[in-house]
Amino acid sequence: MVAELVRAHPNIGAGQSYHNAGGMILRGPGNPDAELYHPDDAARFDHIAEIGKAQLPHYRYLVVGKDMYTVYGGELDWFYGARGIFMFTNELWSSFDYFREQGRGSGWFGRQEDVYKFDELLLFGEGIIDWKPVVHPQYGDIEIGGIRKNWTRTAPSFLIEDMCHRNMAFTLFHAYHLPEIAVDSVQVQPIGQSLLQIDVVIRNDRMLPTRSAREVQHQFTRPDWVTLNGADVVAGFVVTDPLHDRAVEQKYHPQRMHVQTVPGMGTVQVRWLVRSAQNVTVSFDSHRGGHIERAIELR
What's the full length of the chain, in residues?
A: 299
106, pLDDT greater than 60: no
Residue pair 209/181 in contact (Cβ under 8 Å)? The answer is no
Measured CA distances, 177 to 127, 205, 289 (Å): 40, 8, 11
244, pLDDT greater than 60: yes
Q: What is the pLDDT of residues 155-187, one digit of tens each?
A: 998 999 999 999 999 999 999 999 999 999 999
The pLDDT value given to residue 149: 84
Measured CA distances, 295 to 267, 283, 292 (Å): 19, 9, 11
Query: How does residue 33 score in pLDDT terms, banded at 50, 70 and 90?
Result: confident
